[in-house]
Amino acid sequence: MSEFLQQLLNGLSLGAIYALIALGYTMVYGVLRFINFAHSDVFMVGAFIGYYLGKLVPEGTLWGGLLVLSGAMIGCALLGMFIERVVYRPLRHGPTLNVLITAIGVSLLLEYTGQIVFGAAPRTFPQIFPTANYHVGSLTISSNQVFVIGVAILLMIALQLIVFKTKIGTAMRAVSLNPKAAQLVGVNNNVVISFTFGLGSALAAAGGILYAMNYPSIDPLMGVMPGLKAFVAAILGGIGNIPGAALGGLLLGTVETFIGGSQFSTYKDAIAFAILIVILLFKPAGLLGKFTIEKV
Amino acid sequence: MKLASRLLLTLAVLALALRAQDTIKVGEYASLTGKEASFGQQSHKGLTLAIEELNAAGGVLGKKIELITEDNQTKPGESATAVKKLISRDKVVALIGEVASGRSLEAAPIAQAAKIPMIAPAATNPKVTQTGNYIFRVCFIDPFQGTVMAKFAQTDLKAKKVAVLSSVSNAYSVGLAKFFKETFTANGGIIVSEKNFSEGDKDFRAQLTAVKAAGADAVFVPSYYTEAALIARQARDLGINVPFFGGDGWVADQLLEIGGEALNGCYYSTHFSPENQDPVVQTFVKKFKARWGANENPDAFAALGYDAAYVLVDAIKRAGSTEGPKLRNALALTKNFAGVTGVTNIDANRDASKPAAIIAIKNGKLEFLKTVAP
């Protein structure tokens, strides 16, 4: 039983990171109907901004950690908006396939520029937040895990509030529903799309920092695997659907962890992805897709 | 004017061709960047140092040795491309590489087919030299390393129940885990849990939680350093306080950088320890620091890269030629060659049997524990 609970906790903390990245995929898909493959590399840049900022603040302090976290989020939000403005906007009225291929190009550009700028060797991520281990019964909970789940939940609530309670959120939903009609009623699509990219990239940066805190070895290609898993999580939950992305991420992380701890650990990724295929066979739109109208 | 420029060009080409004749080209492929950059950087520095020394002493067969290095970026597939390029375009007479068994296995069939002798400085998986009679190594093999660590676990760690955590997509890890288990269970030990992961994984909590529940006395992790360090950290987070131990894949400065305190009380086996007070070793350490800087410490792979170069040049001297078949025969006859990692004797399987050193990690520092003879 305690092993089950421990695995559940491990799975949720991994899933929370997938969920944060998946939100970025899903939001961009919601407004622009294309998969931003560069998203996983924005995640990597987030971790590296954290790495460099982390050297400037004292290690293991709460305010220092929060400063690094918000610094990386702002940095990546700007990067996301920059990419959208320079690369995607000129292609907005072209075929979706062109944008998709461009996104793959941007992804490779970031990865290999990263190898030149940051170096290809893995770096050790500093302990930016204070750490401790708590023992509850036979469970061992590390403060990092609690922190990851906590921050992920907070950010998801904040996102939900932005999308449903603010003017810009309403505009985002309007653009998602019908970009032309939104423009006719006076929504500035450019601003809304820029904002969506900024928001998604900030969440990716937060995911990057949380990931690096838990697995403190970072390199320019670190985004590839979590990015792929988060993309799968977004599809699993129903792409374009915010609660779906969160659900998909948590589900994928948990399933992966339980298989990893079982005798089938060799086939961890294979089984996790097979489950995805089965779910999509029965629910082609994803778990929460199609049936809800609110899309972002 | 046109004629003159053509003449100049012809001369230039001729001069280049003549210059190329002047050197003996040795190809090196190594993981200079990427996840296992430490392996490639160290072996490259050891190898370069040896070649520079040899050239300063006049080279071999009256010619200088030219080292041509290709980086495989630690990526699967790149070693094959690099080796093909070294053989067909650069026309190297011999190849030196790699530290990792998986990447050596990629290159070996190509070297074998081209009849270009290849010396793996530190690939320990037995399959590497089984590829063919042109493939050699200057280090011990995993059946020996597995036996050493199994005995160490039983006698020194007093472990009866051991868990094994290995990487399925890594030939070295799979092999070493297998040889360890064979000896450990044959001597009455029990493997209580066996969990796998893939190269590049960063989350090991799932496997470790299962290992914790199995109640092992010690955990054997035959992986490379990045994974080993992350595993140790996550294990301590989960409250697993038993010793972790591994093989020569742990050798890298980054091990302690990433793993930190979590690695205290862990052990690994290796080919060479710079802490060894043997004068041969200490001279090598001094020369290495003089060439690469006072902060650079040679590890086992630097020493093996250094020895690989000397073994190769010794064979070229004895063969009196750089032709593939002659050089191969001379390499196969290498006997009692004294290097910084001990005496190299190439056996019938083209492997070297050498002693293993066991290193303990205490208070964030490496301590030389003992040497186990083959």
pLDDT, tens digit, 9 for 90 and up, residues A13-37: 999 999 999 998 888 888 888 888 9
One-letter amino acid of B319:
A
Q: Do A257 and B205 touch (CB under 8 A)?
A: yes
**pLDDT per residue over A247-258, tens digit each?**
999 999 999 898
Partner A contacted by B91 (CB < 8 A): no
pLDDT in the model for residue A146: 87
Q: What is the pTM of this model?
A: 0.83
For residue A165, count other CB atoms closer than 10 A to its CB: 9
Tokens for B16? 């280049």
Q: Which residues of B touch A135 (CB under 8 A)?
A: 239
B263 CA: distance to closest CA in chain A (Å): 14
Mode of pairing for the β-strands spanning B64-71 and B23-30 = parallel
pLDDT in the model for residue B4: 59
For tokens 């006072």, name the residue: B294
A296: confidence class by pLDDT, cuts 50, 70, 90: low
**pLDDT per residue over A142-154, tens digit each?**
888 888 889 888 9
C-alpha span between B140 and A9 (Å, rounded): 42
Parts of chain B with a pLDDT under 70: 1-21
Q: Is the model's pLDDT at A294 over the cut of 80?
A: no
pLDDT in the model for residue B81: 92
Residues 6+ apart with CB under 8 A from A54: A64, A68, A125, A126, A128
**pLDDT per residue over A84-95, tens digit each?**
999 999 988 888
Burial per residue of A271-281, b for 16 or more beta-carbon CB atoms within 10 angstroms, e otherwise: bbbebbeebbe
Cross-chain CB nearest to B230 (options A2, A133, A215): A215
C-alpha span between B300 and B292 (Å, rounded): 16
**pLDDT per residue over B216-226, tens digit each?**
899 999 999 98
3-state secondary structure of B338: strand
ipTM of the complex: 0.80
Residues 6+ apart with CB under 8 A from B137: B119, B120, B121, B122, B123, B124, B128, B129, B350, B351, B352
pLDDT in the model for residue A179: 86
Picking from B227, B272, B237, the residue whose alpha carbon sits closest to that of residue B366 is B272
The overall average pLDDT reported for chain A is 88
Q: Is the model's pLDDT at A5 over the cut of 90?
A: no
Q: Do A122 and B239 touch (CB under 8 A)?
A: no
Q: Do A265 and B197 touch (CB under 8 A)?
A: yes
C-alpha span between B332 and A117 (Å, rounded): 45
**pLDDT per residue over B277-303, tens digit each?**
888 888 999 999 999 988 888 989 999
Number of residues that make up chain A: 296
A285: confidence class by pLDDT, cuts 50, 70, 90: confident
CB distance B146 to B203 below 8 Å: no
**pLDDT per residue over A186-213, tens digit each?**
899 899 999 999 999 999 999 999 999 8
